[in-house]
Copies of this chain bind each other. A is one copy, B any other.
Amino acid sequence: METPDNATETPGPTGIAAQDWATAAVDPQYRAAVVDLLGALAYGELAAFERLAEDAKLAPTLADKAELAKMASAEFHHFERLTDRLTAIEVEPTGAMEPFARALDDFHRQTAPSDWLEGLVKAYVGDSIASDFYREVAARLDSDTRSLVLAVLDDTGHGNFAVEKVRAAIEADPRVGGRLALWARRLMGEALSQAQRVVADRDALSTMLVGGVADGFDLAEVGRMFSRITEAHTKRMAALGLAA
């Protein structure tokens, strides 16, 4: 239980990241940005719930169906934590989510999987990109909001299940890899295009992203962030046996 005296070697967070919610939320623009973020994340979880429950129908076996239903249920619990948080800071959750409904609905509509494997790749890619993005943003958030965002991103557990199934399918029939690689590329393109639309529409959120509110963010840094996310995606696809 010793705490070594090395505080000077690993500097703690500074700026907003060093503040709790009560302190940081005094700034109305920061507050609005966080409400946007929680609203987007909550609607994202609800949409993911719907999508996974829908994809469960494509499952080849009862055990696979149960696995997807489990993931869907986990997303629903994240949704609940996020809407509970919105309620706790006196924001009506529906109002906070609505601005993001169209972009997320459009994303899901335009990337409806045509079979079980496409559904798995989508669950994996979508979940990974979302995690990467929110983890990047989380580092710039006040300590209370950061804990919540990291907690709901922590235990989705889509990864292993999807990776295992997709790898086995490619091994059994290598042509499947080419088709799924194209699919993963389409998912990434569609996700980026919807993300751009959201950033263009939501002043508070995008101001936070380009450094107007949270410190340490500027336009070049946003560019680097998207590079990191795209790179991580490419690595994941390679690990999956798909050329991204």
Residues in A lying within 8 Å of B, measured CB to CB: 43, 46, 49-50, 53-54, 56-57, 61-63, 65-66, 69-70, 72-73, 76-77, 79-80, 83, 93-94, 97-98, 101
Contacts and interface: CB of A to CB of B under 8 A. Distances in A.
Contacts of A49: 53, 69, 72-73
Contacts of A79: 66, 69
A97 B62 contact: yes
Given A61-B94, A94-B61, A53 B66 contact: no
A222 to B, nearest CB: 29
A120 to B, nearest CB: 17
A56 B50 CA distance: 8
Contact of A63 (B61, B62, B94): B94
- Specify the main secondary structure of chain A where it touches its partner: helix
Given A50-B53, A50-B57, A72 B62 contact: no
A73 B69 CA distance: 9
A56 B49 CA distance: 10
Contacts of A101: 62
A84 to B, nearest CB: 12
15 contacts: A46-B62, A49-B72, A50-B53, A53-B54, A53-B56, A53-B72, A62-B97, A62-B98, A62-B101, A66-B83, A66-B93, A69-B76, A70-B80, A73-B73, A73-B76
A77 B69 CA distance: 10
Nearest to A70: B76
B97 A69 contact: no
Q: What 7 A-B pairs have minimum CB-CB distances, sorted nearest first?
A: A53-B53, A73-B76, A73-B73, A62-B94, A69-B76, A63-B94, A49-B69
A221 B124 CA distance: 52
B65 A46 contact: yes
